[in-house]
Amino acid sequence: MDQTAHNIQQQIELYGEPLGETVRRVLAPLGLTQGGLAQVIGLSAPMLSQLVSAQRVKIGNPAVMSRLRAASELADLVITHEIQEFDIPDAVDRIRATNGALTTSGPTTQSPAQGGTPPYATPPGLGAQPPGVAGAHVASGTQSAWPAAAVMPPNDGAVPARTIVRAIQDLLREVASTDELQRAAAAIAPESPALAELLLAYGTGRTADAVAHYEQHHG
């Protein structure tokens, strides 16, 4: 496995999908270029490009991650027509308004820290900080890789399947590492294959596969 493929796998373990897929999914619904998204989340365009191409693995700045999460969730609402098109610019501006200093060096890392469980997000409604507070933290004191979204537009309809799936992914990945989840799935597979499948789908797989699993079992 070459370094790029390794970095992509690390991103999948951290976020459920490569950051390139996250970024590409956000751009069209929000009407942004990649450089424009970089400005919204408070990251330099070259650094975001390195993350998208998997030259780097993750962003170490929790505020930037919070804004990217907010942008991703906003895009999901646009895709499912749960927010009016004319409300999109204001929602994007609210995300941008939480910006701190532009990140140009330092916060990203080439690969996750060696040893220990990687940081993951506190899912919405499960111990996350209130809306408007960037960066929920894990009980151990480690900042989460997907902090709770800093800004979310009103959502009076059903919660998108992707949002629910990410909450489940975040919860599992907060309490156990990928290896632990795989061992747990292997241990229970003989007696509870469906539960083992669930652990692997939400705990170690890609977000797209987990969404497919969720939709299959929820109609």
Render pLDDT for 157-199 as a digit per residue (tens, 0 to 9). Answer: 467 787 788 788 878 877 888 888 889 999 998 899 889 899 8
Residue 71 to residues 26, 95, 198, 211: CA-CA distances in angstroms? 7, 7, 27, 19
Q: What is the pLDDT of residue 211?
A: 84
Q: Is the pLDDT of residue 22 over 50?
A: yes
Q: Mention every residue, 6+ apart, whose C-beta is less than 8 A from residue 96.
A: 39, 40, 67
Chain centre to alpha carbon of residue 111: 17
Of the candidates 3, 29, 130, 12, which has an alpha carbon nearest to the alpha carbon of residue 85? 29
Three-state DSSP state, 33: coil
Cβ distance 15 to 36 under 8 Å? no
Cβ distance 41 to 97 under 8 Å? no
Render pLDDT for 49-98 as a digit per residue (tens, 0 to 9). Answer: 999 999 999 888 888 988 998 999 899 889 888 888 889 999 999 999 87
**Confidence tier at 41 by pLDDT (50, 70, 90):** very high
Three-state DSSP state, 179: helix
Least confident of 143-147, 193-197, 203-207, 212-216: 143-147
Tell me how far apart the alpha carbons of residues 34 and 50 are, in angstroms, rounded to a whole number: 12
